[in-house]
Structure 1
Amino acid sequence: MSTVHYIAPRTALFLPASNARAIEKARTLAADMVILDLEDAVKAEDKARARDAATAAEGFGGRPFGIRVNPEGSEHWKKDLKAVKKSAATHVIVPKVEKPETIVYAAAYADRPVLAMIETAAGVMNVGPIASASGWGVEMAGLIAGTNDLAASLKLPPAAGRAQIQLALQLIVLAARGREIWAIDGVFNKLEDPEGLAAEAAEGRLLGFDGKSLIHPNQIDVVRTAFDPTQAELEQARALIAAANGGVERFDNKMIEDLHVEQAKALLQRMEGWREGGEGAVGSETGT
């Protein structure tokens, strides 16, 4: 199992493992993490070919690289997990997780840190135990909100949006923060709506997510900008650290204490880590 700790990705790009051109292009993209998909993006007749391609894939510039397997109970489940173990992937992404036992099984077979996708009502209800599955050879790297499947699981009408799943999103973030693991927001489906994407990504950051999962390369820059601290935030953090003398005190017409100093340091450390390449710069999986 990998012992390298990466800063939580701002952008995690899903692409079908069956698409050789997409894999080749991904090596040149600025996504913080690449996830080769064996599940929804791959037709049934292409599953075996996609599995072979994912197993052989490498060369993503030292960035975290994951493989999303097919769900537990499918005919591809064990084959996919064994393929991950043979691959250069740094993580295994497990869809539709509803219980911690699924994480334990996946980690044992794939021998990789696990990113669990929370995509059903049952998954949301059990997200705390799922996030707590680390130990005994299991490394939980983080949680990914599967917003499309979650909406279907909740039987929401087509007109429903983010407002109708706010509680679920907040529970995912709470569970991740409670165990100091990554929290990755769900995908944005519209490919030609950069303003809508930017707004949803900004909302995700305000909710506490580390980053967002993507379905197209043209979403990378928009989401990265949304999750990066602004220049004003960076300057404010530096000024706060410089002004702090310990204990409770006044700064910029606000009361601050040690926790605010730690938050400011974490913000600067995360940004500096990305400038240096994003690997191992914060000493923990969460990166926050």
Structure 2
Amino acid sequence: MLLAATLFADSATRLKTDTEKTFFDEVIQACQSATAGIKTTWEEGSRSGDENDDRITEDSEKYPLVHYFNISWADNKRIDEARQKADQKLEAFAPEMQKQVENTDTKAFEELAAKIGKAAEAGDMAEVTRLQKEAEVMAKQMEEGYKPMNQKVESIIEKNMPHDVRMTVRIAINKFYESFNQEPQTGKLSDGTSFYRVEDSRNNNGTWIEGTTFIFLGNEWKAGKDNELSIMQHPEHADKPYASVRSIVVSVEADSKRALDTLNSMNLSALKGLIK
């Protein structure tokens, strides 16, 4: 089975040609040069897209070659301090939570669960269905009773959740379409390049996600609409060699000021020089 899986995986790829190797070498070098000037005291969390592998997906020559280069950083000191503070607050709230649990009468629910089990053993599926509906109603009532406690826990976590502690820079080579979940705000970088800011910062399961600032490099980007979504779109130019760069999307997911400072510190000329 392992041999078959390996053969199947290999069948989907092939060795890169010299032209493709050169393309990715130039792209990776430009991405590294573009991001080398980013100054931050935060710890680098992850980096991808900085190696030129020997293999490529079959039929890649039929479409413009694409590449994705990403780097992320985090202020781990502030993140750890905030987590410890939240844990202390939750620990102080724990006795109240335990009291709430102890005061919740689960006996009726347990008895109902036992009845469902007996009905299932007897093969009385109609009775199982009826009892399950009762159980659903009872479960919702219990959930409603826990709601204030859950809201208190969420409030503690959110109040102690640090903002402006993470940043991710993404460079997408030969990306021709980008959609925004809300209307972006526009502005200019110090070199005159237009940027588009989507301020959709939010709490995502206890982690604060910042908004994103985009810039679009290429000669024919146009703003538009895709149904209700605002979009940016660039023609693919199928007539051009597949191993050539037509468009680049750079995005920085970070606090708005940090994202702007980061883009202004980047060597965007290195990326612009790729576009033919």
Normalising to structure 2: TM-score of the pair?
Answer: 0.19
More relative contact order, 1 or 2 (CA 8 Å, 6+ apart): 2
